[in-house]
Structure 1
Amino acid sequence: MRTVLSVLGRRLASRWWVIGVPYAWLLFFFLVPFLIVIKISLSGVAIAIPPYVPTIDLAQGWASIRDAISQFSFDNYVWLTEGWASIRDAISQFSFDNYVWLTEDDLYWKSYLSSVIIAGVSTIITLAIGYPLAYGMARAKPEWRPTLVMLVILPFWTSFLIRVYAWIGILKNEGLLNQLLLWLGVINEPLIILNTNWAVYIGIVYSYLPFMVLPLYATLEKLDLSLLEAAEDLGCPPWKAFWKITLPLSLPGVLAGCFLVFIPAVGEFVIPDILGGSDTLMIGKTLWVEFFRNRDWPVSSAVAVILLLILVIPIVLFQNQQQKMQERDK
């Protein structure tokens, strides 16, 4: 009996570790910082350190509570109310003025809209380039596949910032791209690509292409080729077999790749700041300006909260829809 209980205890402990560690990670490194950002977004800007008010002095509040508890006297419960009162007074000063300001100034909603459009178009272009690349990798000889995967992830061995800066030398008026097009006779004068939205598209597609290729390759590489052989035996043309078999079975990889590209591209800051122009509006760039140049932490925190909601809510709704479809299929 003791052996059975010990085995069950070890299984429960291992299951707790497997489930508890990821949730603890999310709690301390996502939920707690997000709550801090929400608190700042409900505050007002101030010339102080930190540059916002109100600030909740949790240490003072909990100190009063600990002092009261340590005395074990009902008379000292007055200190409990005073400790919580200091926290309530700070919370009562919070306001939604920063969120109202985001709706009144068209800079912010234009930045959100522009970010979604740029990220969406970049994701479509990345998918159009990445799918044939991943398909070719999955159909290559088995001994060549590790080398091809290594070539896809090879850019990650170099700093992201250096790779983005390298595109300046390629896209500027005297850069390699214009020099090549002039030498081939395709153009008569240099094209203005740098400091435009075109440069931002190029930078995002180049930087996030591996995030599209790798999940697509993982899905296509596991595809059962006997299904394609059966379709061919039944007289199905190759292009029709692709649309009827390969593409539907690769949709999980397509969705994973699109999420991996679209989500970070919406909040991208480095690429539009280095390759884009002054008229390039993206919410990551606007957030950086509010936080570091204007020192307006409350507004920038409100921008970050809205951005997170824009990204998280559609993903949660999509996952719930997928779960309902799976349950319905069962």
Structure 2
Amino acid sequence: MEQSWKKAKSVFAAALGPPLVWLVVFFVAPMAIVWAYSFGHNVGLTEISFTGTIANYARALEPLYLKIFVKSAWVAALTTALCLVIGFPVALAITFASQKAKTWLLLLVMLPFWTNLLVRTYALIAVLRTEGYVNQTFEWFWNIGAKVAPLGAYQPLELLHNNFAVILGLVYVHLPFMVLPLYSALDRLDKSLLEASLDLGAGHLRTLFRIVVPLALPGIASGILITFIPALGAYLTPDLLGGPDSQMIANVIERQFKRANDWPFGAALSFLLMYLTFIAIAVQALLSRGKKREGVG
């Protein structure tokens, strides 16, 4: 038995070794270097001195950057809320669909992952731009109405380069991240509880809010977490769809590294964003643990 356990440990170590080395070399080590940059300052165009200063973090907490952090958190929270409102009925419909329809619906939800984010964003630009499909459709209806009443010339809607476009784009990109955890939680529900609730006269809405939602809370919490975190650090969508007043903290970080050449300050902003992510994960874990204790109690 002892010999077999030793063999098992060697096999386990051989299987774990390459991924662990890859993780350390290509993730942990670069992140450690960037973290060290956040405590340094520029001494030239390409040289950084590691002095242990916290001036970069103090600068990141100035009102200008705090405002951008707060705005990014607000946009990410609104995106998450909209994804939850839209995604819950979708996940519910997939759960109660037939087996064949469920397969096709899940395929449609996961289909965006097969297309590059840049391509999807440019497709959304084609829909929202002044000469895009939305304005063309509205103009067609406007021209029909103009035949009945004098409406004047159609004025295209400004759907791009504003906060509306950014939030719409973020919801479009992150909706599958909400639907899949919700479906995973709803699919495990005991359908007999729903039948019992309906048989006792609770009604569909009361059953939804008193039975389905409480039982789906783990999926809701997971969906909120994995939607909020990438939405908070989104860069491409605000950059392409937003205007000067629609930039988020990731866009500020990009400018520090690529344009301002202030890597220490960019590193400090990056790790403040990472600290916020860790706090969100810790809060979610504490809430889950508290609910489990209440359930046991």
TM-score by length of 1: 0.80
- Is the contact between residue 80 and residue 228 of structure 2 (CA under 8 Å) also seen in structure 1? yes
Q: CA deviation at 1:23?
A: 6.9
Q: Summarize the Cα distance change of 1:103–1:280 in structure 2 as closer, same or farther, 3 Å threshold.
A: same
* Residue 95, structure 1, aligned to residue 53, structure 2: yes
Q: CA deviation at 1:140?
A: 0.6
- For 1:184, the equivalent position in structure 2 comes to 141
2:213 partner amino acid: L
Q: CA deviation at 1:123?
A: 0.7
Q: CA deviation at 1:129?
A: 0.9
* Residue 262, structure 1, aligned to residue 228, structure 2: yes
Among 184, 195, 209, the residue aligned to 2:161:
195
- For 2:6, the equivalent position in structure 1 comes to 9
Q: SS of 1:144's equivalent?
A: helix
Q: Summarize the Cα distance change of 1:33–1:327 in structure 2 as closer, same or farther, 3 Å threshold.
A: farther
2:105 partner amino acid: L
Contiguous gaps of at least 5 residues in structure 2? 146-150
Q: CA deviation at 1:9?
A: 3.3
Identity %: 36
Among 111, 117, 138, the residue aligned to 2:95:
138
* Residue 169, structure 1, aligned to residue 165, structure 2: no
Query: Aligned Cα RMSD in Å?
Result: 2.4
Give the 5 Å matches for 1:66-105.
Answer: 93-104=51-62
Determine which structure has more spread, i.e. the larger CA radius of gyration. Answer: 1
1:200-250 deviation line (CA, Å, top 9, x unaligned):
011101111111111111111221111111112222211111111111111
1:132-189 deviation line (CA, Å, top 9, x unaligned):
1111111110121111111111122221101101122211122111111222239942
1:88-124 deviation line (CA, Å, top 9, x unaligned):
xxxxx321111122223x3311111111000100111
- Is the contact between residue 38 and residue 301 of structure 1 (CA under 8 Å) also seen in structure 2? yes
Among 49, 64, 69, the residue aligned to 1:107:
64
Among 49, 53, 56, the residue aligned to 1:53:
49
- For 2:250, the equivalent position in structure 1 comes to 284
Q: Summarize the Cα distance change of 1:115–1:159 in structure 2 as closer, same or farther, 3 Å threshold.
A: same
Q: SS of 2:193's equivalent?
A: helix
User: In 2, distance between residues paired with 1:258 and 1:298?
Assistant: 31
User: In 2, distance between residues paired with 1:308 and 1:231?
Assistant: 43
Q: SS of 1:94's equivalent?
A: coil
Q: SS of 1:44's equivalent?
A: strand
- Is the contact between residue 119 and residue 265 of structure 1 (CA under 8 Å) also seen in structure 2? yes
- Is the contact between residue 110 and residue 281 of structure 1 (CA under 8 Å) also seen in structure 2? no
Q: SS of 1:143's equivalent?
A: helix
- For 2:148, the equivalent position in structure 1 comes to none
TM-score by length of 2: 0.88
* Residue 243, structure 1, aligned to residue 225, structure 2: no
User: In 1, distance between residues paired with 2:202 and 2:290?
Assistant: 33
Give the 5 Å matches for 1:19-58.
Answer: 27-49=24-46, 51-54=47-50
- For 1:153, the equivalent position in structure 2 comes to 110
- For 1:253, the equivalent position in structure 2 comes to 219
- Is the contact between residue 76 and residue 228 of structure 2 (CA under 8 Å) also seen in structure 1? yes
Among 173, 178, 189, the residue aligned to 1:212:
178
